């Protein structure tokens, strides 16, 4: 078969598939300490779902790739010629600290008062939020059917039975401190494992208690 004949059968992928394969997500980041102008960073696939405008990210800066924290102020999916970009290293915040409206307002303030955009963002976002001092993990407990069955079958100690009764009387999740105060016990009846001299024994009450973490944090809307 001649070269001319082979050219009749186009094996190249369709244009839209080639564009999709060449597409990449770019985050525009402003830094509190560093160049005053926004910088572009490539968002790796592993962080695509986490990087959002308004959240802080950790990025490499300079020839030594010193890691600094900045604000992601924009996201864009780009195609075409690729210019070399460094990648976002880490997402600092689990949710955006600033709404799109606040990003627009702070950008206007930076331009109007001729100061750095990141400076305005630092002033707008409360210091405890930036320092994550307003975030804490709370353990909440709820009753499971397994523990309730153990209670009915008489397999629990007296204090464990009281813990189950207390949980059964509350539809909303409660904290371990609430249980110990109400029942008048230590954390032992509700701890993940109680220990015997021979081996660890799984506490039936704990299988009854679903441990859930609830983040409490703030932002600026």
Q: Is residue 221 part of a domain?
A: no
Q: Is residue 64 part of a domain?
A: yes
Question: If you average pLDDT over residues 88-116, what whole number do you get?
Answer: 92
Q: Are residues 29 and 119 in the same domain?
A: yes
Q: Of the residues 130, 148, 172, which one is the last residue of a structural domain?
A: 130
Q: Is residue 122 part of a domain?
A: yes
Domain region containing 166: 137-216
Distance CA 4, CA 7 (A): 5
- Residue 42 pLDDT level (bands cut at 50, 70, 90): very high
Asked if the model's pLDDT at residue 106 lies above 90, the reply is: yes
Q: Is residue 59 part of a domain?
A: yes
- Residue 221 pLDDT level (bands cut at 50, 70, 90): low
With a pLDDT cut of 70, the percent of the chain lying above it is 71
How high is the pLDDT of residue 136? Answer: 59
Q: Of the residues 81, 96, 130, which one is the last residue of a structural domain?
A: 130
């Amino acid at each position: 078969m001649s070269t001319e004949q082979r050219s009749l059968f186009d094996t190249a992928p369709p244009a839209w598939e080639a564009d999709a394969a060449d597409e990449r997500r770019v985050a525009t980041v402003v830094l509190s300490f560093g160049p005053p102008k926004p910088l572009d960073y490539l968002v790796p696939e592993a962080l695509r779902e986490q990087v959002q405008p308004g959240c802080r990210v950790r990025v490499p800066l300079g020839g030594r790739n010193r890691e600094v924290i900045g604000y992601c102020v924009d996201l864009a999916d780009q195609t075409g010629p690729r210019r070399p970009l460094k990648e976002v290293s880490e997402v600092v915040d689990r949710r955006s600290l600033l709404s799109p409206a606040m990003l627009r307002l702070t950008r206007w303030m930076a331009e109007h008062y001729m100061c750095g955009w990141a400076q305005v963002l630092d002033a707008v976002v409360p210091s405890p939020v930036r320092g994550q001092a307003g975030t804490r993990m709370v353990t909440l407990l709820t009753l499971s059917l397994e523990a309730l069955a153990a209670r009915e079958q008489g397999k629990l100690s007296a204090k464990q039975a009281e813990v189950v009764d207390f949980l059964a009387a509350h539809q909303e999740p409660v904290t371990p401190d609430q249980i110990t105060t109400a029942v008048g016990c230590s954390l032992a009846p509700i701890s993940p494992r109680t220990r015997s001299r021979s081996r660890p024994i799984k506490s039936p009450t704990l299988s009854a208690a679903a441990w859930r973490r609830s983040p409490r944090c703030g932002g600026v809307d």
